[in-house]
Amino acid sequence: MRLLHTSDWHLGRTFHGASLLDAQRNVLQEIIDITRERQVDVVLVAGDIYDRALPHVDAVRLCNWALAELRKTGATLILTSGNHDSASRLGFASELLDSAGVHIFADTSRMLEPVVLEAEGHRVAVYGIPYLEPRMVMDELQVDKASHEAVVGAAINRIDEHLGELRKSGTPVVSVTMAHLFAAGGEGSDSERELSTGNLDVVPARLFENFDYTALGHLHGRQRIAEKIRYSGSPLAYSFSEVNQRKGIWLIDTDAQGITGYEEILLSVPKKLAILRGNLEDLLADKELAFAEDAWCQVTLTDPERPADAMSKVRTRFPDTVVLAFDPQGGKAKEKSTYSDRMAKATSTAQVCTDFIEHVRDRQPDELERELLDSVIRSTREAQVSK
């Protein structure tokens, strides 16, 4: 039997305000094509199908289309809820969808109802662990500590007992579990929402040792925690911290002996990311930066003084710049003072205005800006006198 492991679609997410729906549709079409061409039997989606608990209608339509197209390939679909999903909304009508070959684990009551699939000489049992918010499920799982390790450990103990009973049937069972969490040893990125503070979100990988394969979601970089414990990562980059990640999926093959092979399949990159740094003139002239002209760009300008109308000038070459920062280098050392200190020393309305511009832009207003300020101040005073 062949399984495809993906996760963290985050449908409806934007990239610094820019819509990603078209890019998400394209990458999902690629996953659909792989599912069909590689004759995948089971598609595993390990959480964060949506980017928010109440997804936009366009994201719901996209999800509906993707699941329908994946199902048309003949593959069985198995999904778990993630920390971005609303479990109750994602799990709506799950009992009805079971009969259509789409299985959604969004409720703890379903953890002991694995999807059992018949294969040549063996069965594959897929257990789904929905995202577990410790304080919400600790009583139900009978644990006294509100940590992810405690609640996930309790869930796995119950699954282990159920799996032991399932294996008594005599037919070899290949066990697969799905979960959405931060496994110890995993490498995160800036685009993942923290599950908790103080390392209470970290779950030891040893908890999953009894399973033949564990399909994890939450971390956006595809990685191996252990040979049989893996993250597929997100199919698209959702922050500049993912600039060096190559997105993809895992294909997993089974037989009566267990897992027989893992294959990494890379996905295409609909739009690259670029992190640029330098003074404005050099960035606009450097021929080696041609690759970034059609990329999402994060630009840090190092000019000694902040250039006027900087974003517009940067976008003349890099139109998809979505983050612009300033780190002045090489200028004269400036006296460090708070904005309140500046205001206390101001002796005129014009100085208040120019000090404000210097404070937020790290440069004095130019001649045109000074003329505009003087004009506005003069007009305001004349209007007050006329009253």
The structure tokens listed for 218 are 């939450």
Alpha carbon separation from 201 to 35, 82, 134, 194 (Å, rounded): 33, 14, 9, 8
* pLDDT tens digits for range 226-256: 999 999 999 999 999 999 999 999 999 999 9
Binning the chain into helix, strand and coil, the percentages to the nearest 5 are 35, 25, 40
In whole angstroms, give the CA distance from residue 47 to residue 87. Answer: 10
Q: What is the token pair recorded at 309? A: 């109308």
Dihedral sign for Cα atoms in the order 64, 69, 72, 76: negative
The pLDDT, as a whole number, for residue 200 is: 55
Residues of the chain with pLDDT under 50: 197-199
Could you give the C-alpha distances from 306 to 151, 301, 336, 341, 349, in angstroms and in order? 51, 8, 17, 22, 23
* Positive or negative: CA dihedral 314, 318, 319, 322: negative
> Would you say 234 and 13 are in contact if contact means Cβ atoms under 8 Å apart?
no
Where does residue 305 rank: exposed (0-12), middle (13-18), buried (19+ CB within 10 A)? Answer: middle
pLDDT value of residue 44: 98
| Distance of alpha carbon 233 from alpha carbon 76, whole angstroms | 21
Q: What is the pLDDT of residues 313-322, one digit of tens each?
A: 999 999 999 9
Structure tokens at 346: 């101001």
Q: What's the whole-model pTM score? A: 0.83
Q: Which residues contact 246 (CB under 8 A, 6 or more apart)?
A: 222, 266
Report d(CA 208, CA 230) in Å as an integer. Answer: 11
**Beta pairing class for 202-203 and 182-183:** parallel
**What local confidence, expressed as pLDDT, does residue 98 receive?**
93
> In this predicted model, what pLDDT tens digit does every residue of 2-52 receive, in sequence order?
999 999 999 999 999 999 999 999 999 999 999 999 999 999 999 999 999
CB neighbours (10 Å) of residue 152?
24
**Six token digits for residue 73:** 């390939």
d(CA 183, CA 152) in angstroms, rounded, equals 11
User: CB under 8 Å to 272, separation ≥6 — which residues?
Assistant: 291, 292, 294, 295, 296
Q: Is the dihedral of CA 78, 83, 86, 87 positive or negative?
A: positive
